[in-house]
Structure 1
Amino acid sequence: ETGLIDLMIGAYLSGADVIKVSCEGEISRKTRANVRDFLRDTRGMEIEHDDDKEIRIVSILNPSELKLQVSINRMYILISSLVRDALAVIEGEDVDLLSDIVERERQIDARRLLLERQVAASLQIPSVEKRLAVDRFTAMEHANIARVLERMGDHATRLASLVKEHSKVIKIGAEEMPLKAIPKWSKELKTIVHNMYTRDVGLIHSAKLELAKLRDDVESAESDIWTGRGSAERLLCEFRISESVRRLCAYSVNFAEALLNMLMHDRLEKFER
């Protein structure tokens, strides 16, 4: 049973359409719990057969039916909602806005796994590559973007969790760093995501520069946190919030760079034809 989930995830990412879990004796409760966890953390997999000694899981989602951008967009929406709701709670909204942090984090991770499964399929099966309308380089850059977004999701989750657990001690104003950076971050990230479709290289590059400056501004203001008066809990919490906002900006720069690489590759391919 040790490492069963890792083995199942590995099979899922490699593009397996059928995953069988079998035992010589009766399948244990722990193994069944692992199977449930796997189904919760992935997309497009369902149990086809279940008896005392074997569970057979099958894919019900054709990897070529869902465009790669759909998962990217869903991850972006989940990340943005976590950060937006965290800011709203700091500004006075009910902390219940953040009651489903764990579920949103799981959805982000599940989308990343789904996209990597699709990329693996596109690299192995020419018909999938054709239907997804991607070449190998573009497929790999989509996987790279998904991993960047997963890291952003980790920091959005951390930010939301800090606000949920310490909302009463946080004293940063919405017009102070790092909180005042959040609307600007949100605007520039939206520009980047939107231009996965419109492909305006100039706007993506401009957003990247703005986010890099914002990251540096947040970092410059971090030293001021420790000069303020307050409990150790409050100061540490506010520093961690600043750190997560800064990392969100930094990973957004990485996102923009990966997208620029992808779009320039596409332009060169068309030029060479």
Structure 2
Amino acid sequence: DDGRLVLTPFLKEDSSVKSKVFDSVELGDFNQALRCLVGAYVMGYDHIDIKSREHISHDVRKAVRTFTDTVIGPEIVDDSLHRLSITDLSDFRKLTFDTSVRRMHLIINAMMESLEIAILKNDLKIAEEVMDRDRELNRLNWLVARQYNKLMKDPMMTETLETTKERGLNLMLISRIQERIGDHIDRIAYNLIELEKPLSKKRAADLMRALKLSHEAYEMSMKSLFNRNMALANNAMDHVNAAVSACDDLTESLAVERGGDTLKFAYMIESTLRIARYSKDISESVINILVDMN
């Protein structure tokens, strides 16, 4: 728009493919190997080779299969005694930043709605289902982090991912915040399952009120992103105050109580509070995006 011309070098079709080679012995045990594989994925490597002079250990093979089951895109394309090869088969043209962030939004809404039913009906099976959905948020968050790292290293990715570097940064932050919100929904469901006695009707109703306020703040913040509405982002930040106040009231009601269930309920209140405050963080990132657009 300002008349500048940006020149980028000619890139051959396969020149942007990044490869990483690991020695099987250096990968160590299952946990260390899995961390290294996720790290390579997040940093934007498209092809991963694991080699060994002898046979590849059981721990490393298990880590590879767990890795490909956990993240989006990579698949095992070569499996032999001395070598394992993993290649990313995903298409970024179909998995843009916006697609991933919107998908996370839908999952969180479904988790929140199911959690509310689980609390009201003390349905522990539904609570378990809520916890299962959290894994999908982790997968999408890693994908967005991977996309951002590729965006930073390859200027041509701005067109493929349909975003700018600045907007990509804020969407990555929103993705990370959504993953944290999912963790706290998971934590509430976990503590609901761990209670020795079901919540009383009053306590369930009080928690539901605080949860709904936090959920509303989150929903407003995400709608402000999708609708590019700065006024709604500011309203969402104000709405967080109501959720914080409701959580504070619940915390004060526990001041004279003791016992294991009291502690678990306190954890549930704390996670509800975190969801509200994370929603405020999303609104701040949305405002950053909209200010930059204008």
1:237 aligns with 2:264: yes
- Matched pairs, number: 265
* Residues 1:259 and 2:286 aligned together: yes
TM-score (ref. length: structure 1): 0.89
Contact 1:82 1:160 in 2 (8 A): no
**Cα–Cα, structure 1 residues 175 and 34, in superposed 2: closer, same or farther, change >3 Å?**
closer
Off by >4 Å, runs of 4+ in structure 1: none
Contact persistence 1:141–1:258 (CA under 8 A): yes
> Residue deviations 1:118-172, cap 9 Å, x none?
1111112222112322221111111111111111111111001111222733225
Instruction: From the superposition, tell whether residues 137 and 167 of structure 1 become closer, same or farther in structure 2 (CA, over 3 Å).
Output: farther
Q: Which residue of 2 aligns with 1:114?
A: 143
Distance 2:39 2:289 in 1: 26
Equivalent position of 1:184 in the other structure: 213
Indicate which of 47, 51, 68 corresponds to 2:80: 51
Match of 1:248 among 260, 270, 275: 275
Q: Post-superposition shift, 1:214?
A: 1.6
Contact 1:170 1:237 in 2 (8 A): no
AA at the equivalent of 1:243:
E
CA deviation profile, 1:202-254 (whole Å, cap 9, x unmatched): 111101110133223312431112335xx602211211111110111011111
Q: Deviations over 1:90-132 (max 9, x none)?
A: 2115321123344322211111000011111111222211232
1:97/1:178 CA distance change after superposition, 3 Å: closer
Give the alignment's Cα RMSD to 1 decimal: 2.0
1:271 match: none
8 Å CA contact 2:115–2:130 kept in 1: the answer is no
Q: 1:43 to 1:167 in 2, by over 3 A?
A: farther
**Are the counterparts in 2 of residues 64 and 128 from structure 1 also a CA contact under 8 Å?**
no
* Structure 2 length-normalised TM: 0.83
CA displacement at 1:78 relative to structure 2: 2.4
- Residue 26 of structure 1: how far off its partner (Å): 1.0
CA contact (8 A) 1:174 1:180 kept: no
Separation in 2 of the partners of 1:120 and 1:65? 18
Q: Which sections of structure 2, spanning at least 5 residues, go unmatched?
A: 1-27
Please state how far the C-alpha of 1:188 moved relative to its aligned partner: 2.9
Aligned-partner Cα distance in 1 for 2:255–2:115: 22
Partner of 1:203: 232
Choose from 232, 236, 252 the match for 1:223: 252
1:34 aligns with 2:60: no
8 A Cα contact 1:170 1:234, kept in partner: no
1:143 equivalent to 2:193? Answer: no
Question: What displacement does 1:179 show?
Answer: 2.1
Q: Is it true that 1:158 corresponds to 2:182 in the alignment?
A: no
